[in-house]
Amino acid sequence: MKLVVVAGTPGSGKTSVLMHTIRSLKQAGMSPAVVKIDCLWTDDDKRFERLDIPVRIGLSRDMCPDHFAIYNTDEMLTWAREQDAGVLINETAGLCLRCAPYPDGCLAVCVIDVTTGPNTPLKVGPLLTTADVVVATKGDIVSQAEREVFRERVNEANPGCRIIEANGLSGQGASELAEVISETPDVGQELNLRHNAPLAICTLCTGETRVAKKHHMGVLRHIDGFTEYRGE
């Protein structure tokens, strides 16, 4: 079983690109299954179902969708094996830019929208810097020069990655992504995250709702960057 984790900010074009990619994978004789992880709501399952493949959704609700995706990876893989799938594609919500939901051994794909401007690759952090493939979408809306500047910025942020310029509407780039997927080796038994999940030890994590800092304990970082530990 191959594992492909597709992450990217909301609306960046993940589903649109995947729809075309899955068609290419099916044509090449592979059997993909998709799990979409989102926070509160999604209709991506209905879109994927049109491709006549096994589809499942998971909603993380009040939890970080990336954390939720990470510790449910085993269950997703088991489910995909039951569906006789050869590739499990996991589309994540990618809201939390501190987390990167990529285990080693998967193909890590970051989808990023070119129209958000050439500073975006510097902002998205491990989601982009630890990806194997960066798919740049919506290039149809900007000039060639802007696409090339964007690409340069992606290269600076993640020098080793493969950049695919894709168009979720026309399907440009999808066959290239399908090719990379088909060359990906199967996942192993023990999966480890590529990037540490961030600290989650503040009192907000455990339900404190009062805003003022005096009510909070644990690791606290001040706005000037000073970090202190308050507590026992």
Partner 1 sequence: MQDIHELTIICGIDKSGAKEDVEKIRICPGEIIGIVGPTGSGKSSLICDIEQLSQGDTPTRRKILINGKAPGRDIRTDPRKKRIAQLSQNMHFLADMTVEEFLRMHAKSRNRNSDTVEQVIDIANTLTGESIQPGHQLTILSGGQSRALMAADIAVISDSPIVLIDEIENAGIKKQEALKLLAAEGKIVLVVTHDPVLALMTKRRIVMRNGGVRQVITTSTGEMNVCSELVKLDNYMMSLRDTIRQGGLVEQAVVV
Ligand X SMILES: Nc1nc2c(ncn2[C@@H]2O[C@H](COP(=O)(O)OP(=O)(O)OP(=O)(O)O)[C@@H](O)[C@H]2O)c(=O)[nH]1
CB of residue 18 to partner 1, shortest distance in Å: 16
- Residue 137 found at the interface with ligand X (CB under 6 A): yes
Nearest-10 Cα torsion for 209, 215, 220, 221:
80
Q: Which of ligand X, Zn ion, partner 1, none does residue 13 bind (CB under 5 to 8 Å by kind)? A: ligand X
- Residue 120 found at the interface with ligand X (CB under 6 A): no
Q: Which of partner 1, Zn ion, Mg ion, none does residue 146 bind (CB under 5 to 8 Å by kind)? A: partner 1
Does residue 156 contact residue 184 with C-beta atoms inside 8 Å? no
Count residues contacting ligand X (CB under 6 A)?
A: 16
For 123, list phi and psi in degrees, rounded to 5.
-95, -25
CB of residue 11 to Zn ion, shortest distance in Å: 19
Closer of 60 and 167 to ligand X (Cβ): 167
> Would you list the DSSP string of 164-185?
EE--TTT-TTHHHHHHHHHTSP
CB of residue 115 to partner 1, shortest distance in Å: 5
Q: Which of ligand X, partner 1, Zn ion, none does residue 15 bind (CB under 5 to 8 Å by kind)? A: ligand X
Distance of alpha carbon 112 from alpha carbon 9, whole angstroms: 7
Which residues, 6 to 25, sit near ligand X by CB under 6 A? 8, 10-16
- Residue 152 found at the interface with partner 1 (CB under 8 A): yes
Q: Which pairs from 69-76 meet CB under 8 Å and 24+ separation? A: 69/5, 69/37, 69/101, 70/101, 70/103, 70/193, 70/197, 72/37, 73/3, 73/103, 73/191, 74/191, 76/35
Closer of 81 and 123 to partner 1 (Cβ): 123
Q: Which of 144, 192, 209, 227 binds partner 1 (CB under 8 A)?
A: 144
